């Protein structure tokens, strides 16, 4: 780690100019073969690694794309990392408190898609999770580092996004297709829920259903709810005939609302606006000995992996999370290629996945 060699060092060593060294990396075809070999030899001997900072400055583009998603640091203690003390290994009985929340799994998959697509297109990927208070500083910090930014819906205030968007393209992930100046990438929420609801209402012939929506400010949730209402209309059912409750997209919230609901009565079907809520509902049903799907049908939305392993396994609408990440990067690079583009919206296809909690009829 002696001070890093630069183009100048390489140029001197190989007896060419710095321009040629630069060209060896940026446009190898324009350099004669033996010259290139000589330069590369010097590069290897010196251990030269091009400085992305200098390149970014000179080229006015960093070739980095940023991904901003909701934070999760509250759950991680701020204690220093400590090493193992001796060889003592505790033996504990369970680790339920350690359960990863499914939301993270969702973003992990989005991240994976973004990572893949970014590098494929020659971009590096920088990630940041929203820290509650420091969010503003974080966002502008990352904005100064990247050529474009993908942001999970509702994690950054619009005002701040607008500020950043003056400088770089911003794409909003998994939010509704709002009529704003940002690019949007999201899943086909409405049609997905409509199809699933129709499966319950028509194929199963179950009309006695309750719909558990998510937070009122979630555009995704609004679209799903609208899809549910479409399904009601499809079956000629009056909206007044079904109950629509509101929860908060968490498993705990799902448990709470299910407890309240069951205290009154037991419907034949419970449609949830996301998987976590549905898993919470399943928890309560199991505890009460209510059989799923025999007594009650339950469905979710998202397709998180936890739903695949639940008992019973959860019927849901699967979002293409990896594809969402890829599409976000795609949208950004498209805009970088053509800044004049009108704001775009990508809606990715979903799939209804039938599992035990609402099986195929």
Tokens of 219: 């555009």
With CB under 5 to 8 Å by kind, the binding choice for 172 among DNA, a copy of itself, none is: none
CB atoms within 10 A of CB 169: 22
* Contact between 298 and a copy of itself per CB under 8 A: no
* Contact between 43 and DNA per CB under 7 A: no
* Contact between 120 and a copy of itself per CB under 8 A: yes
Shortest Å, Cβ 265 to a copy of itself:
29
Shortest Å, Cβ 361 to a copy of itself:
11
CB atoms within 10 A of CB 180: 14
* Contact between 56 and a copy of itself per CB under 8 A: yes
For the purposes of burial, counting CB atoms within 10 Å of the CB of 214, is it exposed (0-12), middle (13-18) or buried (19 or more)?
Answer: buried
In the chain the first and final C-alpha atoms are separated, in Å, by: 66
**Residue 32 vs 98, nearer CB to DNA:** 32
| Residue range at the interface with DNA (CB under 7 A); choices 58-66, 135-143, 224-232, 300-308 | 58-66
CB 211 within 8 A of CB 200: no
Out of 7, 142, 151, 284, the residue judged to bind a copy of itself by CB under 8 A:
142
**Closest listed residue to residue 330, CA positions, set 129, 322, 57:** 322
* Contact between 37 and DNA per CB under 7 A: no
* Contact between 25 and DNA per CB under 7 A: yes
Specify the residue for token string 């060092």: 9
Shortest Å, Cβ 45 to a copy of itself:
11
**Residue 23 vs 262, nearer CB to a copy of itself:** 23
Out of 15, 19, 26, 49, the residue judged to bind a copy of itself by CB under 8 A:
49
Q: Tell me whether the omega of the peptide bond preceding residue 293 falls within 30 degrees of 0, making it cis.
A: yes
**Closest listed residue to residue 209, CA positions, set 275, 274, 272:** 272
Shortest Å, Cβ 135 to DNA:
20
| Residue range at the interface with a copy of itself (CB under 8 A); choices 12-20, 34-42, 210-218, 351-359 | 351-359
CB 300 within 8 A of CB 272: yes
* Contact between 224 and a copy of itself per CB under 8 A: no
Report residue 123 CA to chain centroid gap. Answer: 18
């Amino acid at each position: 780690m002696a001070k890093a060699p630069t183009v100048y060092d390489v140029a001197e060593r190989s007896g060419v100019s710095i321009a040629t060294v630069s060209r060896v990396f940026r446009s190898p075809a324009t350099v004669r073969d033996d010259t290139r070999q000589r330069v590369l030899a010097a590069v290897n001997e010196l251990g030269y690694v091009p400085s992305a900072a200098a390149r970014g400055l000179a080229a006015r583009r960093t070739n980095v794309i940023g991904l901003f998603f909701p934070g999760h640091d509250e759950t991680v203690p701020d204690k220093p990392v400590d090493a193992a003390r001796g060889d003592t290994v505790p033996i504990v009985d369970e680790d339920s408190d350690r359960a990863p929340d499914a939301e993270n799994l969702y973003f992990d998959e989005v991240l994976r898609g973004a990572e893949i697509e970014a590098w494929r297109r020659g971009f590096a990927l920088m990630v940041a999770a929203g820290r509650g208070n420091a969010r503003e500083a974080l966002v502008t910090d990352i904005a100064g580092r990247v050529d474009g930014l993908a942001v999970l819906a509702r994690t950054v205030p619009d005002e701040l996004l607008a500020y950043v968007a003056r400088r770089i393209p911003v794409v909003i992930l998994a939010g509704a297709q709002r009529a704003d100046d940002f690019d949007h990438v999201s899943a086909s929420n409405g049609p997905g829920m409509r199809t699933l609801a129709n499966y319950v209402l028509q194929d199963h012939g179950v009309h006695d259903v309750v719909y558990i929506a998510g937070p009122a400010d979630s555009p995704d949730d609004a679209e799903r709810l609208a899809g549910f209402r479409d399904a009601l209309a499809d079956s000629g059912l009056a909206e007044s005939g079904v109950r629509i409750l509101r929860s908060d997209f968490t498993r705990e919230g799902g448990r709470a609302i299910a407890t309240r609901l069951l205290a009154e009565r037991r419907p034949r079907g419970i449609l949830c606006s996301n998987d976590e809520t549905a898993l919470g509902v399943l928890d309560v049903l199991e505890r009460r000995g209510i059989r799923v799907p025999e007594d009650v049908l339950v469905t979710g939305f998202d397709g998180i992996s936890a739903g695949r392993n639940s008992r019973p396994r959860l019927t849901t609408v699967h979002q293409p999370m990896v594809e969402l990440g890829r599409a976000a990067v795609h949208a950004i690079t498209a805009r970088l290629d053509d800044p004049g583009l009108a704001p775009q919206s990508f809606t990715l296809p979903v799939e209804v996945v039938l599992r035990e909690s609402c099986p195929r009829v």
